Amino acid sequence: MAEYMIIILGAVLVNNFVLVRFLGICPFLGVSKKLDSAVGMSLAVIFVMVLATAATYPVQMLLNRAGVGYLQTLAFILIIASLVQLVEIALKKYLPGLHKSLGVYLPLITTNCAVLGVCILNIDEGFTYLQAIVNALGAGIGFLLAMVLFSGVRQRIEENDYPAAFKGVPSTLIAASIVSMAFMGFAGVIDGIFGR
Amino acid sequence: MNKLSIITNGIIKENPALILLLGTCPTLAVTTSAVNGIGMGVSTMAVLICSNIVIAMLKRIIPAKVRIPCYIVVIAGFVTIVSLLLQAFAPDINKALGLFIPLIVVNCIILGRAEMFANKNSVLDSALDGIGMGIGFTFALLCMGSIRELIGSGCLFGFEITTKIIDPVAIFMLAPGAFFTYGCLVALVNYLTKGKAIKAEMGCTNCPSAAACQLAGKGGCDE
């Protein structure tokens, strides 16, 4: 159990996908303006990350067995793209309510580097199937945490007065810098808790 | 359009990283040194030129409805080639860039140029656009990389410059430094162009997913 806790805490806090690994910066800067859209987008990302990991991990094993492991990138992006389409169709048909709140973000996620990133990372880190899925879940929660925290920070920024040249994206980036500095404080937290 | 202006368009007027604000993930992640910045820029440029050429050639054959998946396959093919070439001939750069080499596939710049330019223009123009955009992106990464390397480790291209005068500010090599440097660079571009070049917000107009996304028509992701 401790092993899975370490993976989750590591993915959520220490190696936060957005603020430490720089994956999924576009939605982080683009969709974090309002809290509800930030939450909707993040939930869709968590969902797709876990599904995509569950689907790509066995495919990598198949590719390795066939001796064509280098086709990873090509295979993964196709699986993710078709998976997102399938999920959208399925949600529309069977869970229209969920589709209404999450579905709108799904097409944006196909080209989200965080999803492809987590699939490739899980292979690179040499995780087992279960560990990979737990890591994907942690990465998604980390994304949610960063989005929610940052949407709060952004709402505060909007109300303040700062130099004209920093209006818009630059101020957002500087704020992200400070938030990511806060996340650096988590660097030793796992060693502290689990005494490794 | 004039051939030269296609190239300069990508370098100055529509610089992908500094003005269109595309490809933010690699811009922030791999620019811990000037050399890494150039490595990433050149790899992206190679993929961009090749995919632009192939997509411009295939534009009459690819059905409009499935064009995005087709573009992704073409791009992923070239990314695999570049990744294998880097593994063979530049293992150090390959190690430093790591995960971000396969992630060139989902770099918005490449899909965006396929959708906005190669899809509508001749093969030669598309190749020139790829060169211009590639140089613009490489230049932006080089700027980021040089600033972060100089302040963060006191070196430039691995040569010691300011280490003896002031202590390096190590945080510039880490995540907060990346966000800060990028924010200041974009603010500088904003200042120099008097706020005309960059839109105040990251909008749907630059997003390559706009064609596939229902939100683009309704006024943006936040609605």
The whole-number average pLDDT for the span B36-56 is 93
> What mean pLDDT do residues B186-208 have?
67
pLDDT at position B136 is 93
B70 in contact with chain A, both atoms CB, cutoff 8 A: no
B 194-223: CB under 8 A from A: 195, 198-202, 207-209, 212-215, 221-222
Query: CA–CA separation, B198 vs B151, rounded Å?
Result: 26
How far, in Å, CA of B109 to CA of A74, rounded? 18
Q: Does A169 touch chain B (CB under 8 A)?
A: yes
Q: Does B62 touch chain A (CB under 8 A)?
A: no
pLDDT of residue B223: 40
Sequence spans of domains, chain A:
35-186
pLDDT at residue B8 greater than cutoff 90:
no
Chain A hits for B110, Cβ within 8 Å: none
pLDDT of residue B203: 52
Selection from B51, B68, B78 nearest residue B209 by Cα: B68
Give B118-132 pLDDT, tens digit per residue. 888 889 999 999 999
Residue A102 has pLDDT above 80, yes or no: no
What residues of A are in contact with residue B172 (Cβ under 8 Å)? none
Give me the residue from A71, A112, A180 closest to B179, CB to CB: A180
Tokens 């603020």, residue located: A19
SS3 A189: helix
Is there a contact between A46 and A137 (Cβ–Cβ < 8 Å)? yes
Mean pLDDT for the stretch of residues B131-149: 92
Q: How confident is the model at residue B222 (pLDDT cuts 50, 70, 90)?
A: very low
Interchain CB contact of A166 with B (< 8 Å): yes
Regarding pTM above 0.80, the answer is yes
Q: Of the ranges A32-36, A48-52, A118-122, which one carries the lowest mean pLDDT score?
A: A32-36
Task: Name which of B202, B213, B215 to mutate to probe chain A: the one with the most chain A Cβ atoms within 10 A of its Cβ.
Answer: B202
pLDDT above 60 for A24? yes
pLDDT tens digits, A114-165: 888 999 999 988 889 999 999 999 999 999 999 899 888 888 887 788 888 8
Residue A158 CB contacts under 8 Å (≥ 6 apart), including other chains: none
Rounded CA separation B125/B165 (Å): 48
Spatial CB neighbours of B218, under 8 Å, sequence gap ≥ 6 = none
- Report the pLDDT value the prediction gives residue B45, as an integer from 0 to 100: 94
Question: CA of B174: which chain A residue's CA is closest?
Answer: A20
Q: Among residues 113-152 of chain A, which lie with CB inside 8 Å of chain B? A: 113, 116-117, 120-121, 124
Verify whether the Cβ–Cβ distance A73 to B83 is below 8 Å.
yes
A112 token code pair: 């989200």
Task: Report CA-CA distances (Å) from B139 to A100, A130, B9, B37, B105.
Answer: 42, 42, 13, 9, 20
Mutation choice for B interface testing from A120, A173, A178 by most B CBs within 10 A: A173
Least CB–CB distance from B178: residue in A22, A33, A116: A22
> For A80-90, how does the pLDDT look when each residue is reduced to its tens digit (9 = 90+)?
888 888 888 88
Residues B198-214: b if buried by 16+ CB within 10 A, e if exposed: beebbbbebbbbbebbe
Q: What type of residue sits at position A104?
A: V
Tens-place pLDDT, residues B157-172: 878 777 778 888 888 8
> Does residue A9 sit at the B interface (CB-CB below 8 Å)?
no
Segment A22-47 shows an average pLDDT of: 82
| Cross-chain residue pair A166–B183, CB shorter than 8 Å | yes
User: Chain B residue closest to A122 (CA)?
Assistant: B99
What's the whole-number mean pLDDT along residues A171-193? Answer: 85
Q: Does A167 touch chain B (CB under 8 A)?
A: yes
- In this prediction, residue A196 carries a pLDDT of 57
pLDDT band at B99 (very low <50, low <70, confident <90, very high): confident
Averaged confidence pLDDT in chain B: 83
Q: How far is A7 from chain B (nearest CA, A)?
A: 19
Of the pLDDT bands very low, low, confident and very high (cuts 50, 70, 90), residue B206 is low
Please, which residues 37-66 of chain A have a Cβ atom closer than 8 Å to chain B?
A: 37, 41
Q: Hey, are the CB atoms on A184 and B182 less than 8 Å from each other?
A: no
> CA-CA-CA-CA torsion for B134, B175, B72, A136, nearest 10 degrees?
170
Which H or E run contains B153?
helix B123-153
Burial class of residue A5, CB neighbours in 10 A (0-12, 13-18, 19+): middle
Q: Helices B123-153 and B34-58 meet at what angle, rounded to 10?
A: 170
**Contact at 8 Å (CB) between B26 and B103?**
yes
What is the structure's pLDDT at B219? Answer: 46
Domains in chain B: boundaries: 3-218
pLDDT of residue B89: 92
